[in-house]
């Protein structure tokens, strides 16, 4: 097996506190691993060790089939093959161009090559035309995209990201996700990322590793891990289309869940009282106009975010009083319906699609 990254029984201790305890996993060349876990689990520490900024107390890190020797004098050359995007961007009080170009200038590249590579990196993160803007005056989402461009401009073999879309605006989240898909699937870049977003992980990662209390709880393929959602993954992830409301059982053997703001959702379970429900994004149908349907739930909405994952499209749809629903449809359906930002549509889903969360 051609592993790009191998982590072997890694321990990390800070002043008597053990942050990582025997962590082991492998990532294939061109793979995409998402690391999930609660705050304080050791995710950031693990990324810093992979970025060669921290040395393990015990254990081994292997990159490109070579064991990392942390005392070698030319360790910085190995680090140049790694790109790192922290949760909070680290930017200079300078133009966007100068911020992205810094790593290339340190390496001694000529002005023409620097210009070409900066332009290419900014194009990937969709910040063309931002070159002359002061980086410290950008929005949070724009700043994080500059941070990603900083990592990409040096053409790394391995890209590490620490929750790159947490608390970002929908537009920047979409751009970063699309950029990562392009880098991994088209450029075959190996990516390791921490995240709390289940939909994001499902759509862009190949593997999931659950890190809790400094230990790897489980690791496996995305489909395998998502099949365990109720027992393991749900504890650490953020689901979309999760609502809390008051449920009333009907005479037809269903329940009506009032989630507030005038929205009432019919579910096939029978449970009165306060409940927490989840509607999977791929179980929701998008309609351009009203048609006869057996679906018990039908709402008018407006598209305010579109994310292209290649094989499918994710839509964010605002319904009554600003409630958001995430919906996933095929690219073919999206194109045939000629949908765009701002399109007024209908969404529908069956009562059986409403899942009761314990």
- Read off the pLDDT of residues 7-21 as tens digits, 9 standing for 90 and up: 999 999 998 899 999
Beta-bridge mates of residue 275: 245
Q: Which of 139-153, 209-223, 253-267, 318-332 has the highest mean pLDDT?
A: 139-153
Average pLDDT, the chain: 90
pLDDT band at 84 (very low <50, low <70, confident <90, very high): very high
Long-range contacts, stretch 341-344, CB < 8 angstroms, 24+ apart: 341/303, 341/304, 341/305, 341/306, 342/302, 342/303, 342/304, 343/302, 343/303, 344/300, 344/301, 344/302
* pLDDT tens string 91-132: 999 999 999 999 999 999 999 999 999 999 999 999 999 999
For residues 325 and 342, what is the distance between their CA atoms, to the nearest angstrom?
15
Residue 238 has pLDDT above 60, yes or no: yes
Q: How many CB atoms lie within 10 A of CB 213?
A: 14
Structural domains in the chain, CATH included, are 3-236 (3.40.50.300), 242-357 (2.40.50.100)
Instruction: Read off the pLDDT of each residue in 140-164 and give the average, rounded to a whole number.
Output: 96
Range list of β-strands (E), 102-171: 158-162
Taking residues 48-60, report their average pLDDT: 95
Q: Is residue 45 scored above 60 in pLDDT? A: yes
pLDDT of residue 232: 55
- The Cα 43–Cα 134 span in angstroms is 31
> At 230, is the pLDDT very low, low, confident or very high (cuts 50, 70, 90)?
very low
Give the model confidence (pLDDT) of 197-222 as tens digits: 777 888 899 999 999 889 998 899 98
Q: In terms of pLDDT, which residue wins out, 63 or 174? A: 63
Q: What is the pLDDT of residues 175-196, one digit of tens each?
A: 999 999 999 999 999 999 998 7
Query: Reduced to 3 states, what is the DSSP secondary structure of residue 29?
Result: coil
With 90 as the cut, is the pLDDT of residue 225 above it?
no
């Amino acid at each position: 097996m051609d592993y790009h990254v191998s982590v072997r029984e890694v321990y990390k201790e800070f002043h008597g506190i053990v942050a990582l305890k025997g962590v082991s996993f492998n990532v294939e060349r061109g793979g995409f691993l998402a690391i999930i876990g609660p705050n304080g689990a050791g995710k950031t520490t693990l990324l810093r060790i992979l970025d060669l900024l921290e040395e393990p107390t015990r254990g081994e890190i292997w990159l490109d089939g070579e064991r990392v020797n942390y005392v070698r004098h030319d360790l910085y050359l190995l680090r140049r093959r790694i790109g790192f995007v922290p949760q909070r961007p680290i930017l200079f009080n300078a133009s966007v161009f100068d911020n992205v170009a810094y790593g290339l200038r340190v390496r001694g590249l000529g002005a023409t090559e620097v210009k070409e590579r900066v332009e290419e990196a900014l194009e990937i993160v969709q910040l063309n035309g931002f070159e002359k803007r002061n980086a410290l005056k950008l929005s949070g989402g724009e700043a994080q995209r500059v941070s990603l461009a900083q990592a990409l401009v040096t053409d790394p073999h391995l890209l590490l990201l620490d929750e790159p879309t947490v608390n970002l605006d929908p537009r920047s989240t979409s751009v970063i996700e699309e950029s990562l898909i392009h880098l991994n699937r088209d450029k075959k870049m190996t990516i390791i990322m921490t995240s709390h977003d289940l939909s994001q992980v499902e759509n862009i990662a190949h593997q999931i590793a659950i890190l809790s209390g400094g230990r790897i709880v489980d690791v496996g393929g995305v489909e395998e891990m998502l099949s365990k959602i109720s027992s393991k993954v749900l504890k650490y992830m953020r689901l979309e289309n999760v609502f809390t409301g008051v449920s009333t059982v009907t005479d037809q053997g269903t329940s009506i869940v009032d989630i507030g703001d005038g929205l009432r959702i019919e579910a096939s379970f029978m449970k009165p009282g306060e409940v927490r429900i989840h509607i999977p994004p791929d179980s929701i149908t998008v309609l351009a106009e009203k048609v006869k349907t057996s679906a018990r739930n039908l709402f008018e909405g407006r598209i305010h975010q579109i994310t292209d994952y290649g094989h499918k499209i994710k839509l964010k749809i605002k319904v009554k009083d600003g409630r958001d629903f995430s919906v996933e449809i095929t690219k073919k359906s999206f194109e045939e319906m000629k949908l765009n930002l701002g399109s007024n549509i209908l969404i529908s889903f069956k009562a059986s699609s409403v899942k009761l969360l314990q």
